[in-house]
Amino acid sequence: MDAAGRFARYLASHRLKMTRSRRAILEEILSIRGHFTADDLLDHFRRRGREVAPATLYRTLARLVEAGLVHRIDMAKGQARYEPMFGRHHHDHMICLRCGKIIEFENREIERIQAAVCRRKKFRLLEHTHQLRGHCAGCSRTGAAARSAFASGGIDVRSPGRNPS
């Protein structure tokens, strides 16, 4: 079944119809590569001369997430990012809390252990997301440089998350 078919089936199960704007939003999303915000998507529509009401877009995006066709990535600050999951290989994300960079990764061992944990709990796993939050390589380097500059002062104000010891 294609993405439109899956969305139509989801909508029908919620007593909703596949309207023209819902279909247009789905098609637009499927043509996007990478991670985007709801505002990026609105801009994308405007640039192509296709107006869509922001409220309709936000609601449809939430439906697509619920239907499992779009993945939502919550950021520490700023807007959530979205990406189409249909036809894409499963992957998880690392999110940099400093610069907002999103790094995709796949780890068979994590997936395997997770499935085993669910089996033990007799939990039927339908989907999952891993969002690992921290600092990317570039930001860690910047952080380390900032820390060494502060070292002479004795107090490291740049790492509030560190355990006091």
- Cβ proximity to Zn ion: between 54 and 138 the closer is 138
Cα separation, 102 vs 84, in Å, equals 15
Q: Contact at 8 Å (CB) between 37 and 82? A: yes
Q: Please calculate the CA angle 35-132-110 and round it to the nearest 5 degrees.
A: 105
Q: Nearest CA to 64 among 20, 102, 29, 32? A: 29
Of residues 10 through 69, those in contact with Zn ion by CB under 5 A are: none
Size of the site for Zn ion (CB under 5 A): 9
Kindly state the smallest distance separating residue 134's Cβ from Zn ion, in Å: 9
Q: Nearest CA to 40 among 3, 73, 2, 18? A: 73
Kindly state the smallest distance separating residue 107's Cβ from Zn ion, in Å: 7
Query: Which DSSP symbol is given to 67?
Result: T
Residues 6+ apart with CB under 8 A from 99: 136, 138, 139
- Cβ proximity to Zn ion: between 64 and 136 the closer is 136
Of residues 119 through 138, those in contact with Zn ion by CB under 5 A are: 136
Q: Nearest CA to 74 among 50, 102, 99, 47? A: 102
Binding mask of the shown chain, residues 64 to 103, with x at each position contacting Zn ion by CB under 5 A:
-------------------x--------x---x-xx-x--
- Cβ proximity to Zn ion: between 65 and 139 the closer is 139
Kindly state the smallest distance separating residue 138's Cβ from Zn ion, in Å: 5
Q: Using CB under 5 A, which of 2, 66, 74, 104 touches Zn ion? A: 104
- Cβ proximity to Zn ion: between 22 and 81 the closer is 81
- Footprint of Zn ion (CB under 5 A): 83, 92, 96, 98-99, 101, 104, 136, 139
